[in-house]
């Protein structure tokens, strides 16, 4: 394709078929939404834009975080530093040498579940141990305080709470 995801919002030349609704145009800003049930052993979620995923595969990103997260939790260091490391890892020092790979905009966020789970030194099922010191109490109330935008996503309470 000619367009990256974020460009689809403004490229009106691809949205001019008057016989089609906005969501049926060649390019649409209407998001595709998928819902996944969390599992008890979920450790974390990496949310990133295409600038990251163009450089790292899913498993590479998981390995990158899993290698660094336990020490950050133990030391009480901000998780934003871990994501900054990921951005630095993905950015190209020479766009000519990488054919432009690593030169796109990059945004990434890390959401840690249940103190990182047993694989990361946290407990499974609740925020215990090392993670309790590193995670502010307010984050424990995030689920009750969060309001999902209508029509964009759905949040369900399941067996995981």
Give the mean pLDDT per block of 10 residues along the chain (161 residues).
57 76 75 83 91 94 95 90 94 88 88 69 42 49 54 55 48
Please check whether residues 56 and 100 belong to one and the same domain. yes
* 3-class DSSP state of 126: coil
Claim to verify: residue 60 and residue 9 sit in the same structural domain: no
Q: What is the per-residue pLDDT for 48?
A: 93
Q: How many domains does the chain have?
A: 2
Q: Between vectors from CA 131 to CA 51 and to CA 144, what angle results, nearest 5°?
A: 80
| Residue numbers of the domain that contains 93 | 40-137
Does 25 lie in the same domain as 102?
Answer: no
Do residues 111 and 131 lie in contact, with contact meaning Cβ atoms separated by under 8 Å?
A: no
Q: What is the pLDDT of residue 70?
A: 92
How many whole angstroms separate alpha carbon 100 and alpha carbon 78? 31
Q: Helix (H, G, I), strand (E, B), or coil: what is residue 1?
A: coil
End-to-end CA distance of the chain: 40
Question: Do residue 16 and residue 70 come from a single domain?
Answer: no
Domain presence at residue 123 = yes
- Strand segments, DSSP code E, in the chain are 44-48, 108-112
**Could you tell me if 20 and 63 lie in one domain?**
no
Task: Please report the pLDDT score of residue 115 as a whole number.
Answer: 62
Do 103 and 74 share a structural domain?
yes
Residue 85's H or E segment, with its range, is helix 79-90
Tell me, yes or no, whether 2 lies in a domain: yes
Asked whether residue 148 is assigned to any structural domain, the reply reads: no
Based on the fold, state whether residues 56 and 106 are members of the same structural domain: yes
Same domain, residue pair 19 and 52: no
| Cα separations in angstroms, 6 against 41, 51, 57, 79, 103 | 32, 11, 20, 26, 15
Q: Are the C-beta atoms of 5 and 50 separated by less than 8 Å?
A: yes
Cα 30 to Cα 148: distance, rounded to the nearest angstrom = 16
Q: Give yes or no for a contact between 130 and 136, defined as CB atoms under 8 angstroms apart.
A: no
């Amino acid at each position: 394709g000619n367009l990256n995801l974020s460009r689809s919002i403004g490229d009106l030349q691809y949205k001019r078929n008057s016989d089609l609704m906005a969501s049926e145009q060649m390019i649409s800003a209407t998001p595709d939404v998928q819902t996944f049930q969390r599992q008890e052993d979920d450790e974390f979620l990496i949310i990133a834009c295409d600038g990251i995923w163009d450089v790292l595969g899913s498993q590479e990103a998981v390995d990158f975080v899993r290698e660094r997260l336990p020490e950050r939790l133990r030391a009480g260091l901000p998780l934003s530093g871990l994501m900054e490391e990921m951005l630095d890892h993905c950015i190209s020092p020479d766009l000519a040498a990488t054919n432009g790979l690593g030169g796109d905009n990059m945004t990434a966020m890390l959401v840690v579940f249940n103190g990182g789970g047993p694989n990361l030194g946290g407990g499974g099922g609740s925020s215990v141990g090392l993670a309790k010191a590193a995670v502010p109490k307010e984050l424990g109330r995030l689920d009750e305080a969060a309001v999902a935008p209508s029509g964009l996503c759905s949040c369900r309470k399941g067996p995981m709470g």
